Amino acid sequence: MRKMTVRVLTTVIAALAACMLVILFLVMNVNTVARQYESNISSAMESQQLVAEICENIYQTESQVWQHIVNEKEEEYEKYEERIDGLLASMSTLLSDLQDSLTDEEDRVLSHEVIRQYTGFKSSVQVVLELSRQGSKQSAQYYVEKELSPYFNAANDLLSTVDRKTTENSRRAEEEMEASIYKARLEAIICLVVVGLIIVVCVYLVFRNGKRIVGQQEEEKRSHEQRVMELQYNIIVAMANLIESRDEDTGEHVKRTSWYVDLIARELAKDSPYKDQLTDSYLDNLWKAAPLHDIGKIKVSDTILCKPGKLTPEEYERMKLHASEGGKIVYETMRDIEEQEYVELAHDVAQYHHEKWNGTGYPEGLSGQNIPLCARIMAVADVFDALTSKRCYKDAMSIDQAYQIIQESIGTHFDPVVAEAFIRLRPKVEEYLRENQE
């Protein structure tokens, strides 16, 4: 099955690659056509612009020539002649530019003919100006009508032909580009359809033959993840038990407090102001984080931890450091290997489970809602188990006495909502303790 899946995936990838290559080729082809079209259009527009300017110069030249002829003032002749010379020079430049802009051989032949007509036109203009200067107005007028006008008309006709041909070339280039784009789109659609059919067939084969295998693989993956999670939790519990055993505790403290924490949290999740915060993932991570609440004790010496009598103020201050040290240890050892939500909960449980509702706890003196919820829950569980457990420095307290202290500490040491939930759970707590003492 795995080999078949690999072959199918290889086929799909190959088909996609072939399709992409074809589409890339089509895109490049369309781009080439588009660039050619853009070049043709640009050339045509340039040619049309030049033709329009040349025609305008011809009209203006003829107009200036007629004004020269009808002029009677000597001082005006030079003004008209300067204008005419400027127009003729400009026309010469425009004709040169027009010839450069034309690429079609037939158009270039026409441009040569236009230039030839322009040469005759220019010579005729000079003759007319000379006759006009000498006072031969009628001869000049006759020369314009008989000699200059034919050049003028012939040049205009040739220019009109050039303009019409450039327009036709532009339209033809546009039609060719549209045809190429249509062809490219059609070929791309065909390629996509073929690849789509290949993918559908391959997916069908994989689905038909691989559903069961995929299910088995998912089950194996879930089983593996579960084993890894169990292994991680067992390592955490073992490490916590090792730390707790330093003060002659059997390790049951970790087990009991984790159970209390989970019991309280699930009770609050049913109906309390905190139920929206207590999601399934939060509950699961809190239960797994609870064993780490006293991990900071690893930094406390055995002399202090196992002392049978009351601690001195200096020793107590050293003991209090286990909370902040625990938070540091969690961040330093788990930040890069565990999920962020779990790491945050484990950190808060370790660092803040000795904070008090009225702000008299440690290490930061937080109060009320500023104390993380997980630490408020841990505080109730930890204190209750400490009261009901025998330690090197005290005997175990009865359940009645422990619950009495919890009741009296509501609103001072403990969050009222959390503590009252734990009090409601007393029957389950007593049953649990009975079962584990037998």
More confident call, 251 vs 225: 251
From 73-87, 103-117, 399-413, 415-429, the region with the lowest mean pLDDT: 103-117
The predicted pLDDT at position 76 comes to 77
The confidence band for 236, taking pLDDT boundaries of 50, 70 and 90, is: low
Neighbours of 67 (CB within 10 A): 15
Q: Domain spans of the chain?
A: 2-208, 248-437
Cβ contacts of 316 within 8 Å, gap of 6 or more: none
pLDDT score, position 206: 62
Q: What is the pLDDT of residue 421?
A: 96
pLDDT value at residue 411: 95
Q: Give the pLDDT score at 205.
A: 66
Q: Picking from 52-66, 218-232, 384-398, 405-419, which range would have the lowest pLDDT averaged per residue?
A: 218-232
Angle, CA 386 vertex, CA 334 and CA 364 arms, to 5°: 55
Right CATH number for 2-208 from 1.20.120.1730, 1.20.1250.20, 1.10.1740.10, 2.60.120.10? 1.20.120.1730
- Give exposure, 129-149, as e/b (b: 16+ Cβ within 10 Å): bebbeeeeeebbbebbeebbe
Higher pLDDT, 89 or 223: 89
Long-range Cβ contact pairs of 193-196 (< 8 A, separation 24 or more): 194/15, 194/19, 195/15, 195/16, 195/18, 195/19
Banded pLDDT at 366 (limits 50, 70, 90):
very high
Buried b (16+ CB within 10 A) or exposed e, 189-216: eebeeebeebbeebeeebeeebeeeeee
Above pLDDT 90, what percent of the chain? 26
Average pLDDT estimate for 234-257? 61
Per the structure block, which two tokens stand in for 171?
Answer: 């339209």
How far is 42 from 358, CA to CA, in rounded Å? 82
Q: How many beta carbons lie within 10 A of that of residue 287, not counting itself?
A: 18
Tell me what the mean pLDDT of segment 79-97 comes to: 81
Provide the mean pLDDT of the chain.
78
DSSP state letters, 210-237 = HHHHHHHHHHHHHHHHHHHHHHHHHHHH
Counting DSSP H helices and E strands in the chain, the numbers are 14, 0
Distance (Å, rounded) from C-alpha 320 to C-alpha 306? 15
Candidates 261, 267, 241; CA nearest to 379 is: 261
Q: Which CATH superfamily is domain 248-437 in?
A: Hypothetical protein af1432 (1.10.3210.10)
Percentage of the chain exceeding pLDDT 70: 69
Most confident residue range from 47-51, 133-137, 244-248, 325-329: 325-329
What's the token pair of residue 158? 């040739």
Query: Mean pLDDT over residues 372-391, rounded?
Result: 93
Question: How high is the pLDDT of residue 231?
Answer: 42
In order, the DSSP letters of 177-194 are HHHHHHHHHHHHHHHHHH
- For the cut 60, the answer to whether the pLDDT of residue 361 exceeds it is yes
d(CA 19, CA 29): 15
Nearest to 373 by CA among 335, 414, 428: 414
Q: Picking from 209-213, 281-285, 382-386, which range would have the lowest pLDDT averaged per residue?
A: 209-213
233: Cα separation from own chain's centroid: 36
Alpha-carbon span 151 to 157, nearest angstrom: 10
Helices 280-289 and 340-352: angle between axes, nearest 10 degrees? 50
Q: Which helix (H) or strand (E) holds 135?
A: none
Q: How far apart are CA 251 and CA 254, in angstroms?
A: 6
For residues 201 and 15, the model is more confident at 201
Check residue 156 and give its pLDDT: 66
Q: What is the pLDDT of residue 225?
A: 46
Nearest alpha carbon to residue 126 among 61, 73, 79: 61
Q: What is the pLDDT of residue 224?
A: 43
pLDDT band at 159 (very low <50, low <70, confident <90, very high): low
Condensed to tens digits (0 to 9), the pLDDT of residues 394-432 reads 788 999 999 999 999 999 999 999 999 999 999 999 999
